[in-house]
Amino acid sequence: MKTTFTLCLLLLLSLGASAQYQLQDNVYPALTFTNLVELVPDHPEGEQLYAVTQAGIIYTFPEDAAQATASTVFLDITQRVTSGGERGLLGLAFHPEYPDNGFFYVNYTTGDLVTRISRFSRSSTDAMVADPTSEVILLTIEQPFNNHNGGKIAFGPDGYLYISSGDGGGAGDPQNNAQNRTNLLGKILRLDVDTNTGEVPYGIPEDNPFAGNTEGYRQEIFAYGLRNPWKFSFDRETGFLYAADVGQSEREEINLITNGGNYGWNRMEGTLCYPATAECSMEGLTAPIFEYESDNSVGRSITGGFVYRGEASQSLAGKYVYGDYVTNRIWALTLNEDGTAGTNELLLTAPASVSGFAESRSGELLVILYGTNTRIARLTDQTTSLPLAQEQQFTLYPNPATGFVTIDFKPGTVLKGAQLILFNALGQKVQQHTDLASEQVQLNVSGLAAGVYVLQVESEKKLTKHKVVIR
């Protein structure tokens, strides 16, 4: 008997697009990129962002948009990269101790055709440039076809390097790679890059599910049964790992990845049997926490994002923000305390294909709009007020503003020691005012870029925040 599982309730609860959210397009107007696929910071205490182009160049520039007047080449390995279609330089991750050891890792396709996971080093003479001769190849994965290469790499909160690997391509995973634990295709891998095991330049974490097995299973495997997990991310607060898996023809899915989990492909596509005429069972498999129908009206190629942990939008707090490359839609998925999913809300439709998301150091979200003229956009919340309980100390006007913002404190408010701080959407401090002399204060915002800002007032050991829209 054919078994079919659905998540109709979650799909029915998906809400229409909200005017509350918008994309601030091209937040780095001085920079131009071609086919950008990844954008990452080097270190939590750093100041640079690193942009990965599919052709094989990594650029760097200041995270502060006001300072990003130009980008410089950090690493160029175009001569080693085979790019085009789903191939190319696809992933970048900086070692947690990068400021000290200068190590970073890349995921790219090369030759005809393999995936290569390599370590490079920062130049010993110039911290803004990598040493292209420093490559140490950690892992090589043969690719039977030229698509479904995965590509994302990132360090987890445990300090290990996680790698997404597609099933090797070909419709329906014809070689059954995703379910075959003796190869590395269709998997999430986990390596200890700080130790060596035998002849390979990495170690196997002791709690990897197949560490020390005698059945011939690859010990690098952390989870399996995936088709093409193009993007994954860790929730910086809970440590949960979420992977978005691009579907075959029926379902796009979001998975909560756990140690040893089997996510079903190619026995299942999402919660449906694969192929549709087959008999199947979910026994021994982990279902996605959320899925949506793969069609041209909703989406056909999911792009994973991040759990929002920024300060600029209370309504997005703790929600998983993700998109679709084909329909350009961006959603927010409510998450429960155990990491499972609740309702799904359509936020907006982007003006171009969403190839990736980035998380600023302060937790705000950037969106990569793919193309020959790739643009980096910022997801913004257009509401101007936080809950009334936080607005008792003052009022401000006009809001939205163009030149000046006036703040009127309630009569009797103790202003001794009070300070006003204005943050931009990336959480960066752009103005600070202390020693307030009266109950009315004017801020000159005429020199600030248009967007959503947060005004923070500290007074009488109280903290009050209010959003300000500057046009």
Q: What are the φ and ψ backbone dihedral angles of 319, each rounded to 5 degrees?
A: -100, 150
pLDDT (tens place) for every residue of the chain, 471 residues total:
333 333 333 433 344 455 589 999 999 999 999 999 999 999 999 999 999 999 999 999 999 999 999 999 999 999 999 999 999 999 999 999 999 999 999 999 999 999 999 999 999 999 999 999 999 999 999 999 999 999 999 999 999 999 999 999 999 999 999 999 999 999 999 999 999 988 899 999 999 999 999 999 999 999 999 999 999 999 999 999 999 999 999 999 999 999 999 999 999 999 999 999 899 999 999 999 999 999 998 999 999 999 999 988 889 999 999 999 999 999 999 999 999 999 999 999 999 999 999 999 999 999 999 999 999 999 998 775 444 334 457 888 998 999 999 988 888 776 777 888 888 766 677 898 887 878 888 999 999 988 878 888 876 656 677 888 888
Unique residue bearing structure tokens 């005698």: 214
Unique residue bearing structure tokens 């003229």: 373
pTM here is: 0.83
Q: Where would I find the beta strands (DSSP E) of 209-328?
A: 221-224, 231-234, 241-245, 251-257, 268-269, 272-273, 290-293, 302-307, 320-324
The domain segmentation of the chain, as residue ranges, is 21-384, 394-470
The CATH fold of domain 394-470:
Immunoglobulin-like (2.60.40)
Q: Does a cis peptide bond (omega within 30 degrees of 0) precede residue 398?
A: yes
Domain 21-384: CATH class, spelled out: mainly beta
Q: Decide: helix, strand or coil at residue 198.
A: coil
